[in-house]
Structure 1
Amino acid sequence: MTLRTERDKETGVAVVTLDRPEKHNAIDLATAAELAAVWREFRYDDEVRAIVLTGAGEKAFCTGIDRSAVVPQPSSPYSVDDPLIAVGPKANDLWKPVIAAVRGMACGGAFYLLGEADFVIAAEDATFFDPHTTYGMVSAYESVHLALRMPPGEVARLALMGTAERVSARRAYETGLVSEVTAPGEEVAAAVRCAEVVAGYPTEAVQGTVRAVWSAHEPARTQAFARAPHLIALGNLPPDAQAGLFGARQGGGFRVR
C-alpha cells in the first residue's frame, strides 16, 4: 500500500497520507489507483465528513508522476492516457471537503491533487514549482488547475520558469494558492483543526457548499481540460528526448521567490 488512511470516528475527520517518502511521494500507477479508490470509498462512509490530504516525511508533499511508471499511449494524436486524471476527489464524485496540508516540495502532478482540494495549508518550508517545460513537456492539466486559483500572470510564470524557480509558501499565500502558512510540522494539525470544525456542521449543507463553489469554475475547467490532450500530443517531446533533458539538467540551481 502506498497510502495511509486514518479515521477519527469521534470527529468525523480522515487523514490520507501519500506514503512514499523515499520517492518524494511521487505517484506511481498503484498510488493513482489507491487514490481513486479511497475517494470513492469515502462517498459511502457516512462517518467521514471531512478529509485532510498530506504527504509523508519533511521533504515533499508530492512530486507528481513517478518517472519510472510506464504508461502506454494510443497512437492517435487525439488521445492521451493520463494516469493522474482521476487521482483527485472531485474526479471521483466526492463532494466532502478536502483540505491539503503541504510540507516540502509540491510540483508537477501534485497540482492535480491541490487543484481538487477545497483549500490548501502549507508549512513555511513548502515550495511549489512545475518542471514540465524544462523537460520538454506541456504543462496542461497542471496549469488549468493553477489558473482556477491564482492570477494568470502568476500561473504563467510558475509554469514557464520550470525548475529554475520555486514559489515559496509565503508567495503562494499572497497569490491565492495557499490559504494559511504555518510553522514547519504544524501544517497537518492546522488542517485537522479546520476539518474538525467543518465536520461538525450538517454534512448536507457542507457538501452542497463544496458543490456550489466548484460549480462556479467547473464549466471553464471542463472546456480547458477538453483541449489539454491535444496540446500535450502536439507539444511534448518524444519520451527519449525528455529523458535526455532530464539527465542533462539534474541538479541545477533554482531561485525561491
Structure 2
Amino acid sequence: MPEYENLLYEESDGVALVTLNRPDRLNAMDNASCDELRAVWAQLRYNDDVRCVILTGTGERAFTTGVDISGSWKQPASPFMVDDPISTLGPKSNDYWRPVIAAVNGMAAGGAFYLLGEVEFIIASENATFFDPHVSHGMPAVNEPMFMLQRMPLGEVMRMSLLGRHERMSAQRAFQIGLVQEVVPQEELMNAARWAAEAIASAPERLAIEATMRGIWTAQYTTLANAMNSGVAFLSLAGAEEEITEKARGIKEQTRIEPRIR
C-alpha cells in the first residue's frame, strides 16, 4: 500500500487497520483525506490477503466530525448538480465488499454517518458520542440521517437530526437502540475491534463471508422477496451447491471453536 498524508494504514493477520489521521482537526476530512480514503478502498479490492478491515480515528477526541468546513470545496453553479465531498467515501460506495468494523472513539458527527452507514457493525468506547450538527449551523441534515435511518429507529434519527448541537447521543444509548453493537472502556477499544476482525478473518472461505454480507445488505435495502431471489445467485457465486453440501457434512471434523458470550 502507498504512503498517505491523512491516513494511517497497517496490515497483519488478515486484518487491515485504516485510521483517519488529522487529530488537530478532529479527524475532519478535507479534499486530500477524501481522495486517500477512496484510494484505500480501491487498493483493498485487489488485496486478497485482507479479510476484514477496522476503520477508526486517531486520538481520544473524535472518530471524525465529517467535512472539514475550513477546506475549499468547489461546487457546480447549478443547484441540480451538487458535489457532496464525502457522499462516496464508504466501502460499499466504492464497491468494497469485505467486512469493515468501525471502532469509534470520541465524537462521531455529521459526515461520520456516511462511513458508519456502510460498515458491518460498530464497536464504541465509553466516551463515544453521536450527533448531527447541521441544523444548528443553519444547514439541512438530509443524506446523513437517511443513512442512519437504516440503522436507527425513526424517532431517534429525528431527535438527533433536529436537536443538532443541543444533544449528543452517548455510547450506551447508541448501544440500547442498536446503532452500536458493543461498548468497551476506551483503553480496550482496539483490542475488542481486533478480536472481532481476526475472528472474521479466520473463516475458511472468503466468498462465504462476502456472500453472507451481500445477502444481508440486499435484504436491508430492498424487499424480502427480491432479496430472497438474489440470495440464490449469492449462494451460487460462493460455491456450487454440492461443494456447500460437502462442507456441511465435514462440520464434525472441523477444529472446535470456543465461543465468547457477549
- Relative to the length of structure 2, the TM-score reads 0.81
Matched letter for residue 11 of structure 2: R
1:178-193 correspondence to structure 2 within 5 Å: 178-193=180-195
1:7-22 correspondence to structure 2 within 5 Å: 7-8=11-12, 11-22=13-24
1:233-248 correspondence to structure 2 within 5 Å: none
Which residue of structure 2 lines up, in the alignment, with residue 209 of structure 1?
212
Question: Following the alignment from structure 1 to structure 2, what is the Cα–Cα distance between the partners of residues 107 and 188?
Answer: 20
Query: How far off is 1:185 after superposition?
Result: 2.1
User: Which residue of 39, 63, 66 corresponds with 1:64?
Assistant: 66
User: Which residue of 86, 90, 99 corresponds with 2:92?
Assistant: 90
Query: How far off is 1:218 after superposition?
Result: 2.9
- C-alpha deviations, 1:40-99, integer Å up to 9, x for none? 110000000100000000000101000112112122222210110111100000000000
Q: Which structure 2 residue ranges, 5 or more long, are not aligned?
A: 224-262
Question: Following the alignment from structure 1 to structure 2, what is the Cα–Cα distance between the partners of residues 158 and 192?
Answer: 29
- C-alpha deviations, 1:154-187, integer Å up to 9, x for none? 0000111000000000000011110000001211
Query: How far off is 1:219 after superposition?
Result: 4.4
Q: Percent identity?
A: 51
Matched letter for residue 214 of structure 1: W
Question: Following the alignment from structure 2 to structure 1, what is the Cα–Cα distance between the partners of residues 14 and 107?
Answer: 28
Which residue of structure 1 lines up, in the alignment, with residue 239 of structure 2?
none
Query: How far off is 1:13 after superposition?
Result: 0.4
Give the paired residue count.
Answer: 218
Relative contact order, higher structure (CA 8 A, sep 6+) = 1
Query: What secondary structure, in the 3-state scheme, does the structure 1 residue paired with 2:89 have?
Result: coil
User: Which residue of 142, 148, 151 corresponds with 1:149?
Assistant: 151
Q: Does 1:115 align with 2:117?
A: yes
1:10-89 correspondence to structure 2 within 5 Å: 11-89=13-91
Question: Following the alignment from structure 2 to structure 1, what is the Cα–Cα distance between the partners of residues 125 and 54?
Answer: 14
Matched letter for residue 142 of structure 1: E
Q: Does 1:5 align with 2:20?
A: no
Matched letter for residue 6 of structure 1: E
Structure number with bigger Rg:
2
Q: Which structure 1 residue ranges, 5 or more long, are not aligned?
A: 221-257
RMSD: 1.0
- Relative to the length of structure 1, the TM-score reads 0.83
Which residue of structure 1 lines up, in the alignment, with residue 232 of structure 2?
none
Structure 1: which 4+ aligned runs deviate by more than 6 Å? none
